Structure 1
Amino acid sequence: MTNNEVQKKETGQLLQLVSFMIGDEEFGIDILLVQEIIRMQQVTKVPNAPDFVDGVINLRGKIIPVIDLRCKLGIARKERDKNTRIIVVDVQGKTVGFIVDAVTEVLRVPENIFEAPPEIVTGINTEFIKAVGKLEDRLLILIDLEVTLTANNEVELLPA
């Protein structure tokens, strides 16, 4: 039995996540949803778009809506810097970009480190939180991108 198989047997199913920062908090999303991670680029504003929709970008000829995840989570906006990234994901057949402060790493973590989120988390809109995981010296908040995009039927705002 390989070391990896032993680890799986002891800890249960392993999840692969892309972790990123928004403010001082570390968040994660399923790596299978991520198409690519790109540097921040010029975003074209869309008239009458909701506040959380930053605009659209042209990614190799494809127009992609970009959502400011800070705004969507109810966290105050901040000045973008050299670490700001756009995580391009595919959710329910829709391609969309999420602006984050920084992408930190790809993690392989046991599924059993996660538990249901506490009912009250100050400063963050908790309806988009799938779970909270305890890593060695920090917490990782698992975001539910499907809920993030479909809350209040907002998925209809995204081009096909």
Structure 2
Amino acid sequence: MAEETKFIVFSLAHEEYGVEVDKVRTIERMMPITRVPKTPVFVKGVINLRGIVIPIIDLRERFALPQAEFTENSRIIIVAVGEMEVGLIVDSASDVIDLDTDLIADPPEVVGGIKAKYLRGVAKLKDNRLLVMLNLHEVLNKNEIIQLESIEG
């Protein structure tokens, strides 16, 4: 029996990605990010969001995509991975869609230069768009999460 799951759709380097709505806490406009020394290059720093310190990851940097200037459309998607909240910088967040989980196929080895381990799958939408589903647990692998948790302090 197919299940419908809601996904937030966002773009990164002209590709569309999806992340489950139940993992998303909030979507914020860009804001000042405080740099933190000795973190991986894709960790841009931390923000203080309503009294909570949240590490911020640049997904372009994480996936080794070409860097781009932040624009009026740039967003920080705050996601929960386990007990931790992390912000993901994306080019834009466009909409929320309902997706039949049966439509999600296993990802090919590389999609747009991104290794398959970061991806949960690829879904073909009705209008022939492809939506790449992120595997948040790999985007933030355990060792990096431990590093990030020490930032939260």
TM-score by length of 1: 0.89
Amino acid at match of 1:90: A
Q: Is the 8 A contact 1:40 1:84 kept in 2?
A: yes
Structure 2 residue aligned with 1:135, among 122, 125, 128? 125
| Counterpart for residue 86 of structure 2 | 96
Q: Distance in 2 between matches of 1:121 and 1:80?
A: 23
Please say which structure displays the higher CA radius of gyration: 1
Q: Is the 8 A contact 2:47 2:54 kept in 1?
A: yes
| Counterpart for residue 61 of structure 2 | 71
Query: What's the Cα RMSD here?
Result: 1.3
Please state how far the C-alpha of 1:122 moved relative to its aligned partner.
Answer: 4.2
SS in 2 for 1:83: coil
Q: Counterparts of 1:26-105 in structure 2 under 5 Å? A: 26-105=16-95
| Counterpart for residue 149 of structure 1 | 140
Please state how far the C-alpha of 1:121 moved relative to its aligned partner.
Answer: 2.8
Over 6 Å off, 4+ runs:
none
Q: Distance in 2 between matches of 1:41 and 1:88?
A: 13
Show structure 2 runs of 5+ residues with no match.
none
Sequence identity (%): 38
Structure 2 residue aligned with 1:124, among 90, 114, 124? 114
